[in-house]
Structures are given as C-alpha cells and as structure tokens.
Structure 1
Amino acid sequence: MIVRTLDDCRKSGRKVDGETWNSVRLSLKDDNMGYSFHITTIYANTETPIHYKNHLETVYCVYGEGSILDKATGIEHPIKPGTVYMLNKHDDHILKAKSEMQMACVFNPPLNGKETHGPDGAYPLEAEAVTD
C-alpha cells in the first residue's frame, strides 16, 4: 500500500512548476500502478497550448472556470467544477483559465515526475524521475 498526502508532495520534488501551471505528482511511474495521478493548478488569466503526443490524459475540474479549445475542430468547451475531459486522441488543444483552476489528472503511460511541456506542448515519453 502507498499512502501520501497532497501537502507532503507539495513540499517535495513531486511539485513541478510550469509557466502557467504547477503540478503535484501524487502517483508516478515507479509506483507501478500503470498510470500517474496529479493535482494541477492552472493560473488565472492564462492560456496553455498542450499537445500530448506520447500520453493519454483524463482531467477533472475540482474548482475554477475556463475552457478547452480543440484546435482540430475549433470548438471551445467550457470548464467548470464537475467537468471532465478526456484527451483520447492525443488532442492538440489550448487550456484557457478565467480563474485559477484545480484539476485532477490521470496520465497513461505514467509520468516519471519531472516532465514539463516542450515547445510542441508535449511531455517527453521518458524524463527524469522524482526521488523522494
């Protein structure tokens, strides 16, 4: 059994900062669960281009409001608490935050821990692992 708290993970190498977000990685590849689980904060009044070419992701909005723009279709979907979206086709998108948003995220394959978005909006398939 693995037990961690969000507060403990925030104070460790499991918290990764991006320009428009921070992500606390509660479960990672070395936990051998087959996925990784993160609590991600998207900063208010930001736009984040994302294109996960190597990962599938499911995202649930815990709090805050914004939208997700599907670049392939041009459709912009509102996001508010209780909204879930699944990037099942490696969807190229822009995540827009009107207010600060807290998101619960699941990645498959799991992240190693230190991933940040590259210039193309993707996480690398393999990256430096977190050491607790």
Structure 2
Amino acid sequence: MAQGREREDVPTHFANASLSVRWVQGFPSQNVHFINDNTICYPSGNYVIFINLETKKKTVLQCINGIVGVVATNVPGEVVAFSDRRLKPVIYIYSFPALSRKNKLKGIWETLPATPSHPWN
C-alpha cells in the first residue's frame, strides 16, 4: 500500500532559485474505495483522503491515533470506517459528506466470549 511520505528538504537549483520537496502524497493502487457515485476515498499516512471525481474537490479526515490501517465503505449508507494501525486497533465510523463520527469501536475483542466458533480461536 503506497502512502504519503515525508522527505528531508532536498534543494534543487534552477537559475538562482531553489526548490525543495517537503511532502509527497501517495496514491494507493489497490486501496481505493467508492463512498458514493461521485467520490472515492483512500488512506494516505494519518489521513483518509476523499476526492470528488466531478469537481476534483479534496477533503481530508485525520486519524488522530496514527497511521490509517484498514478502510471500508458502505455506499448506500455513505459511511466510511477505518482503523488505526496498531496491535489493538480502534475502529472509527464516520458519515459522509458531513464527516461526523458515528461510532468509535475499541476493546471489543476483550468482551466477546471465547468459543470455538470465533475465527481467532
């Protein structure tokens, strides 16, 4: 999964002018999701990026706990869910286009009963 990466300032000189690259945003080739008929979203570092394909407008949603792990969408409900990337991830569920948080799921693995029917046993 390609993600945005920060780089050290690398100066490039053009006729008494200098240009430095400070930030490059990656675009994943396999982790792009539709959120509705006109909008895609994908993870990029600590953010979920939304792009309206008609207007080219970009909206950014930050994962406050670090790098975005997994992203999933529900097109009919215009809902996006994503997790942070850590051992016991937190899952955030947001409505779109308002980007208001609908739910935050954490610690459910500790409250579920341990039975042979669970795939993680």
Query: Which structure's relative contact order is higher, taking Cα pairs within 8 Å and 6+ residues apart?
Result: 1
Is TM > 0.5 for Structure 1 vs Structure 2?
no
Q: TM-score, normalised by structure 2?
A: 0.28
Structure whose alpha-carbon radius of gyration is higher: 2
